[in-house]
A and B are shown apart, each in its own frame.
Chain A
């Protein structure tokens, strides 16, 4: 009798950190009270700074998604290796935290795309201006992934590697360290193609063209190598996205719909 009494007390005391019956064993018998509890609490409460919204970079492999992000975040160009799975950055933009997801373009990671895009507020679809196929892939392969994004998600279409093409005026950059400068590649994708794609995306999303941002404003040509227009791209998108945060905060309800349902158990837990 007294033994069971003992347990009850321990149970209740430990029930608070929501793992109920399993914690008591450590709490009562183990010589390390608390450390375990604390670790779990850490997981629950801190996902470091909580991002206010999410931005996802999508696009075929080797179009330069990681390089674009790296150029923007680190202010320099670095040869990157093929991204595995995905990478994640947190960008402070004014009072807001924006999480930026760099996804892997490789086919084998395609399945992860939907999850990355879930509840995204902005998607940057990236192609390579010297590779028409990379633009076509956006529509064929990547557009479908964005079905999980927010309804009011903003789209941007970005042609990277503009420095490689004959279209690009190379005076301002490059210290001529590469022979490529002289032997430029013909541009395969024009900005008009990107604009046309953007309009098709809007149609696919069944969004009214008059409501969404103008195609000309949401199609960019950039160079991660030289930094051309990279800030313009990210800052342009951030500025477009911030009103969404404001709206989200004002409406006061979390986009992750299902979470709310599991909340009542917390209050139940504190029976005494």
Chain B
């Protein structure tokens, strides 16, 4: 309750009127105020508005002038009857004043109050002027009256000099109160209200009222809508169609008069003037006013009168009312009022005002921790987000130039004041800001204040140890560096600090921080795998200088992981000076393991075809194997693995310097490797000798033959296998296992041998049984080869026959050369009996044929020459 919507101002004190005056009715039109009294006098006063500006206004933003009214009496006129004046109506456009006295309407000049010769209307109970006349004639007014005797209503057109009855309509009962709008009259009958279309005579019941209760009230409020006093003190709204579109307002039981002043309904009873809002039907203000008899609005100005005084109800500016509502935390009412006022205020002004109100409302909701509502209000009012951030101490970057708007949108200095230090509330507010900022930071609300928003968000995240801190820093952001940095340091978010530096292109600073964390100088457990992170960071860093600066540190930490800064670099960087492989290799010679990994990367992954690297890698492998072997208790598995790598390299690569390696492994037990190296030198005899006699590894020997002959022709392969076989056979007499190996070799690879020469090699005493798989296989292979070649011969012969037949066909017919024959190329006759004939039958000169040989298609295009002569 208790909004101040109106101020009651005295316009004319009793001292201004003669003693014993009793006002019966009044009319106000512009500055003209007319009073009718019980003793038949009409007073004409001038109502003058005075603006007194208030010098001591603290609260008001706009220098609201304080209005008051004074009246000066112009004229008065005694009509000469002993009856009271019942109604006064001014028709200012016509300079006329309509007076109802003693059931008679007379017309006076509004200036002089002189009666005019125009006819009087008699037998009038009460009358009204149509607020919204249909005729639209500006030189007449439409007067609607209730006849005092005939149970009719009459409509008159009143001009400056004439009065004309337009229509007379009977009413179901005697009416007592009337209001008019367009073609409609709203009437109070003895116990109910009706609307009446005076054109058609159609009656529409509205609702009954208890006839014993009081004087009915019918008040025109807007086009086609009336306000009526209903049962139990209800103010009912009704349209001419008999529909109610607004909920009723609740008055006291004995309302004397009602008036409208947007958006309020005012009602006068014996003790008070009450103000209800039409927007929410709530009572908004009560002004004590005793002995009031008249409450009326005249073109928006509400005047209330007692029997001897006239007062004006001045509406307070809407802004002021809204501010009052807001300052008493009545957000919804304030918004309803503001919204309701939309059409009442110029658009631009309204938008500014309304936005401000929304913002204020938002802060009120915010202070109540009603975050959802607050957010909606902030959002819809496009609040400068810094207003909100500035409530939180230290959240705006120190560089921010933000100053809160004046006048302030709220009364709070900061969050601590708002929450009165309640830490839990503070945290809630912070969480709210966090979500709100994260929601809006990518929207246009944050436009222009990106830095403030992001910095505040960073601070909130850091403070709350929120995981989104990192997301914020790795994505696009505008965090203010120095302010954010000191904040992150304060909250020991060193990793994040590094990210901040990195985002702001200060990679060196970032690395410095991170290295400190890894070295244990700073404590931040955000990333347990920070070292690998740093390695990746260096790997993808374009800053050569930085990479080389930290390369030693990284490699000292872990060669295995650290070498990734070289191996995982993007390939195009190898071609640049800073990271050319030679430079890296020479740099890495301090770091044995890293060097090995790097060379592996070059040779095996990058497939760099450079002898230097291949040899280097092979040597390193060898050294590694030797190192492992030299250990007190060599780990067999690891040695095997290492050798496997070495062997693979030796087999697959053709680039390394074989002799160097052979020297290198001379005197070691790396036989397999030696065999491979010999194989590379085509010294298969030696190689197989090692494999067969030193290692007795027959499977490896067979394998050797297979991979060494890969991609070579059959004789080469057969040569290798035969070498192996003979190598077996050499020792077969001493050792049975060689014999078995030889037999197995033959039986398993019958196709790899030249059977004839093999048979010659074999000892006489071997049984056929023993070799039967080999023999069968070899036979099959030979027969197959034989048949294949027979087929090939057959096909070749057939082809030959086909060509021969073609040749014969061509020779079959004679070619007659006459002087009618022309060369198909040059179109000239033949001079000599020498010509060339194409298979298509065309004949040409020999020289033409050699020329046109280039373009062999010519024969096809030429017409076929006639061969018959």
Tell me the A residues contacting B by CB distance below 8 Å: 7-8, 11-12, 15, 18-26, 28-31, 35-36, 38-48, 51, 54, 84-88, 101, 108-109, 111-112, 114-116, 118-119, 148, 256-259, 261-262, 265, 268-269, 271
Of chain A, the residue at the smallest CB distance from B136 is A269
Q: How far is the CB of A112 from chain B (nearest CB, A)?
A: 5
- The answer to whether B240 and A47 have CB atoms under 8 Å apart is no
Q: Per-residue 0/1 for B216-230: is the Cβ within 8 Å of any A Cβ (1 yes, 0 no)?
A: 000001111100001
In the complex, the 3 A-B pairs of residues with the closest C-beta atoms, listed nearest first: A43-B222, A21-B93, A85-B248
List B contacts of A84 (CB < 8 A). Answer: 232, 234, 248, 250
Looking at B182, B243, B340, which has the most chain A CB atoms within 10 Å of its CB?
B243
List B contacts of A31 (CB < 8 A). Answer: 49
Residue B183, interface by CB 8 Å = yes
- The answer to whether A43 and B223 have CB atoms under 8 Å apart is yes
The CA of A119 and the CA of B241, in the complex, are separated in Å by 9
List B contacts of A8 (CB < 8 A). Answer: 138
Residue B174, interface by CB 8 Å = no
Give chain B interface residues in 118-159, CB to chain A under 8 Å. 129, 131-141
Taking a contact as CB atoms closer than 8 A, the residue among B30, B139, B140, B240 that contacts A258 in the complex is B240
- The answer to whether A261 and B197 have CB atoms under 8 Å apart is yes
- The answer to whether A85 and B224 have CB atoms under 8 Å apart is no
Since A22-B92, A26-B299, A109-B232 are in contact, a sample of 14 more A-B pairs with Cβ atoms closer than 8 Å, ordered by chain A residue number, is A18-B223, A22-B91, A22-B141, A25-B32, A28-B30, A38-B344, A44-B223, A86-B247, A112-B234, A114-B207, A115-B206, A115-B243, A259-B241, A261-B197
- The answer to whether B241 and A256 have CB atoms under 8 Å apart is yes
Q: How far is the CB of B174 from chain A (nearest CB, A)?
A: 19
Residue B68, interface by CB 8 Å = no
- The answer to whether B241 and A262 have CB atoms under 8 Å apart is no
Residue B242, interface by CB 8 Å = yes
- The answer to whether B93 and A22 have CB atoms under 8 Å apart is yes
The CA of A212 and the CA of B432, in the complex, are separated in Å by 52
Give chain B interface residues in 762-816, CB to chain A under 8 Å. none
- The answer to whether A22 and B299 have CB atoms under 8 Å apart is yes
Give chain B interface residues in 177-234, CB to chain A under 8 Å. 182-184, 192, 197, 199-200, 202, 204-210, 221-225, 230-232, 234
- The answer to whether A86 and B138 have CB atoms under 8 Å apart is no
- The answer to whether B236 and A112 have CB atoms under 8 Å apart is yes
- The answer to whether B92 and A21 have CB atoms under 8 Å apart is yes
Of chain B, the residue at the smallest CB distance from A88 is B247
List A contacts of B206 (CB < 8 A). Answer: 115
List B contacts of A88 (CB < 8 A). Answer: 246-247, 281
Q: Per-residue 0/1 for B24-35: is the Cβ within 8 Å of any A Cβ (1 yes, 0 no)?
A: 000001111000
Given A46-B343, A84-B234, A257-B241, A25 and B93 contact (CB-CB distance below 8 Å): yes
Residue B79, interface by CB 8 Å = no
Give chain B interface residues in 228-261, CB to chain A under 8 Å. 230-232, 234, 236, 238-248, 250, 261
- The answer to whether A112 and B31 have CB atoms under 8 Å apart is no
- The answer to whether B300 and A20 have CB atoms under 8 Å apart is no
Of chain B, the residue at the smallest CB distance from A263 is B182
- The answer to whether A256 and B343 have CB atoms under 8 Å apart is no
The CA of A44 and the CA of B223, in the complex, are separated in Å by 6
The CA of A21 and the CA of B300, in the complex, are separated in Å by 16
The CA of A48 and the CA of B343, in the complex, are separated in Å by 11
List B contacts of A265 (CB < 8 A). Answer: 133-136, 182
The CA of A40 and the CA of B184, in the complex, are separated in Å by 18
Q: How far is the CB of B370 from chain A (nearest CB, A)?
A: 16
Of chain A, the residue at the smallest CB distance from B260 is A43
- The answer to whether B92 and A24 have CB atoms under 8 Å apart is yes
List A contacts of B223 (CB < 8 A). Answer: 18, 43-44
Residue B94, interface by CB 8 Å = yes
- The answer to whether B300 and A261 have CB atoms under 8 Å apart is no
Of chain A, the residue at the smallest CB distance from B238 is A115
Given A86-B248, A115-B243, A11 and B221 contact (CB-CB distance below 8 Å): no
List B contacts of A257 (CB < 8 A). Answer: 241
The CA of A43 and the CA of B342, in the complex, are separated in Å by 12
Given A24-B92, A43-B223, A118-B243, A258 and B231 contact (CB-CB distance below 8 Å): no
- A–B Cβ pairs within 8 angstroms, 17 of them: A8-B138, A15-B138, A20-B136, A21-B92, A22-B29, A22-B129, A25-B299, A26-B30, A39-B261, A85-B234, A101-B247, A109-B234, A111-B230, A119-B241, A261-B183, A262-B134, A262-B224
- The answer to whether A44 and B242 have CB atoms under 8 Å apart is no
List A contacts of B202 (CB < 8 A). Answer: 258
- The answer to whether A271 and B136 have CB atoms under 8 Å apart is yes
Residue B289, interface by CB 8 Å = no
- The answer to whether B231 and A112 have CB atoms under 8 Å apart is yes
List B contacts of A118 (CB < 8 A). Answer: 241-243
- The answer to whether B300 and A36 have CB atoms under 8 Å apart is yes
- The answer to whether B240 and A259 have CB atoms under 8 Å apart is yes
- The answer to whether A23 and B134 have CB atoms under 8 Å apart is no
Residue B262, interface by CB 8 Å = yes
Taking a contact as CB atoms closer than 8 A, the residue among A26, A39, A85 that contacts B236 in the complex is A85
Given A24-B92, A35-B300, A39-B344, A18 and B246 contact (CB-CB distance below 8 Å): no
Of chain A, the residue at the smallest CB distance from B245 is A47
Q: How far is the CB of B114 from chain A (nearest CB, A)?
A: 18
Q: How far is the CB of B791 from chain A (nearest CB, A)?
A: 85
List A contacts of B342 (CB < 8 A). Answer: 46
- The answer to whether A115 and B207 have CB atoms under 8 Å apart is yes
Taking a contact as CB atoms closer than 8 A, the residue among B31, B204, B250 that contacts A29 in the complex is B31
Q: Per-residue 0/1 for B304-348: is the Cβ within 8 Å of any A Cβ (1 yes, 0 no)?
A: 000000000000000000000000000000000000101110000
Q: How far is the CB of B811 from chain A (nearest CB, A)?
A: 96
- The answer to whether A19 and B131 have CB atoms under 8 Å apart is yes
List A contacts of B197 (CB < 8 A). Answer: 258, 261
Q: How far is the CB of A35 from chain B (nearest CB, A)?
A: 7
The CA of A158 and the CA of B250, in the complex, are separated in Å by 28
The CA of A62 and the CA of B207, in the complex, are separated in Å by 22
The CA of A227 and the CA of B554, in the complex, are separated in Å by 68
The CA of A257 and the CA of B240, in the complex, are separated in Å by 10
Q: How far is the CB of A205 from chain B (nearest CB, A)?
A: 20
Given A88-B247, A114-B205, A30 and B31 contact (CB-CB distance below 8 Å): yes
Q: How far is the CB of B138 from chain A (nearest CB, A)?
A: 4
Q: How far is the CB of B340 from chain A (nearest CB, A)?
A: 8
Q: How far is the CB of A75 from chain B (nearest CB, A)?
A: 15
- The answer to whether B239 and A256 have CB atoms under 8 Å apart is yes
Give chain B interface residues in 640-694, CB to chain A under 8 Å. none
The CA of A257 and the CA of B93, in the complex, are separated in Å by 34
Given A22-B92, A111-B231, A259 and B133 contact (CB-CB distance below 8 Å): no
Of chain B, the residue at the smallest CB distance from A8 is B138
- The answer to whether B244 and A115 have CB atoms under 8 Å apart is yes
Give chain B interface residues in 336-389, CB to chain A under 8 Å. 340, 342-344
The CA of A266 and the CA of B257, in the complex, are separated in Å by 31
List B contacts of A38 (CB < 8 A). Answer: 343-344
List A contacts of B49 (CB < 8 A). Answer: 31
The CA of A104 and the CA of B240, in the complex, are separated in Å by 22
The CA of A35 and the CA of B262, in the complex, are separated in Å by 11
The CA of A39 and the CA of B245, in the complex, are separated in Å by 18
The CA of A26 and the CA of B29, in the complex, are separated in Å by 7
The CA of A134 and the CA of B147, in the complex, are separated in Å by 45
- The answer to whether A111 and B93 have CB atoms under 8 Å apart is no
List A contacts of B137 (CB < 8 A). Answer: 20
Looking at B49, B92, B301, which has the most chain A CB atoms within 10 Å of its CB?
B92
- The answer to whether A85 and B138 have CB atoms under 8 Å apart is no
Q: How far is the CB of A168 from chain B (nearest CB, A)?
A: 32
Taking a contact as CB atoms closer than 8 A, the residue among B91, B135, B243, B299 that contacts A256 in the complex is B243
Taking a contact as CB atoms closer than 8 A, the residue among B31, B183, B299, B344 that contacts A23 in the complex is B299
- The answer to whether B242 and A262 have CB atoms under 8 Å apart is no
